[in-house]
Amino acid sequence: MRFAVTKVCGGGGGKARLGALHIGTGGGIETPALLLSTRKGLPAFVSCDLLASLPLPDSLLLHVCPTHFMEGPPLKTISSIGGLHRMLGLPDHILIAAAGDSIESLPACEATNKFGASFETPSGRRLVKPSDYMELISCMKPNLWASLADEVPAWVTEKRNKISVDRTLRWLDACIALDPDSGTNTLGVVVGGSSIEQRKLCAAEVSKRNVSGFWIGGFGFGESIEERCNLLNAVTDCLPPEKPRLVSRLGLPEEVLEGVAAGIDLFDSTYIYQLTMGGFALIFPVDMVEREMQNGVFNNSGPDYSKINLRATTYRKDTSRLVDSCSCFTCQNHTRAYLNHLLNVHEMLAQILLEIHNTHHYLRFFRSIREAIKVGEFDLFRQQFVENRRAHIAAAVL
């Protein structure tokens, strides 16, 4: 794995950065980028053949959860097939593994102990030890994998934060010791709850290990917006700039922009899955950088609401596309009225078409972020995006 920062945007200590991630012999993937969430290796409603219709190479990054495979094919079977790439039929995709997610493998810190991390899964609560975890990794053969971690919510005590850091560092050392490659494909996990001191300590200690990058965990567990911003900046200040940083569970557009501003390169999120399950379609403008600049302000007079609920009766006779400028399969072939019908008769095709569009749309959003960094206008892009969203929300309330 090779990673290089190609541009840093923002005056006065700005951290938003453009990078290139190279894994294997394929071409590089520009960052900031999104990891598509999966269930047992594939997006929930997108099959292998449909993956090819998503924007490339942006859609090559997939987050896989090893604990999903604790129930299913025996690990020896996965290994004898040749790992997940061959089992899933995705030889060119980049699989990045981490123990937990926000769909089917939720961290259960109250049941975690010194022996391993606990997760709430569809088959019940499971305790995963470092040796168990590394057996999963060795059989799955992902391109990159995050070490086992003890993630805690924001409301725990300082003592519990310290324990989580100590356990995470100990498990990182155990995982590297069990890894035949000695950690060259490892992402060291940074935890510490809502404690800036423990976050800094964990980041500094993980940086001393032989890891390829960093997985910043423990977010989305009750911290406030102000806390999150301070924690992100405190962590990234302690990490070496030449290695990639990945953060989990920051999925909303505003959260992504906040992460990019703090110097994050990769984002793992179930936002698209949650939108799709709720019957929502993303429609917010994503081509702001391509619009003409007038007096230093983006000319963005179009609508700025972020999503629509296609279950609503108002779309029953709406024959327009989801987004006129979108080139995805859904927008090119179907209408809002058809999607409303599919949702209301509980056809799974609704989720398939929605996930295709939402994924396509969100990958375009990340592309716009990269374009803003390239032209040195990320701060303005972020400011205008957030202000327009707030203005629409205020208008909707009134």
CA dist list (Å): 394 to 3, 157, 387, 388, 398: 41, 37, 10, 10, 6
pLDDT of residue 293: 37
Instruction: Count other Cβ atoms within 10 Å, centred on residue 210.
Output: 12
Instruction: Please identify every stretch of the chain with a pLDDT value under 70, giving residue numbers as ranges.
Output: 10-13, 25-26, 288-304, 391-398
pLDDT of residue 216: 95
Q: How far apart are the first and last CA of the chain?
A: 51
pLDDT of residue 297: 46
Two tokens, residue 147:
């070490």
pLDDT of residue 214: 97
pLDDT of residue 301: 43
Two tokens, residue 251:
């999925």
Q: Where are the alpha helices (DSSP H) in the chain?
A: 48-51, 75-81, 84-88, 130-140, 158-178, 196-207, 225-238, 253-261, 271-278, 329-333, 336-344, 348-374, 378-397
pLDDT of residue 24: 76
pTM: 0.92
Virtual CA dihedral for 173, 155, 158, 165, nearest 10 degrees?
Answer: 10
pLDDT in tens, 164-214: 999 999 999 999 999 998 889 999 999 999 999 999 999 999 999 999 999
Nearest-5° Cα angle at 43, 98 to 217: 25
Q: Which of 257, 256, 372, 330 is nearest to 54 (CA)?
A: 330
The label of the residue with tokens 């606990």 reads: 118
Q: Which of 94, 89, 97 is nearest to 48 (CA)?
A: 89
- Asked if the peptide bond before residue 32 counts as cis, ω within 30 degrees of 0, the response is yes
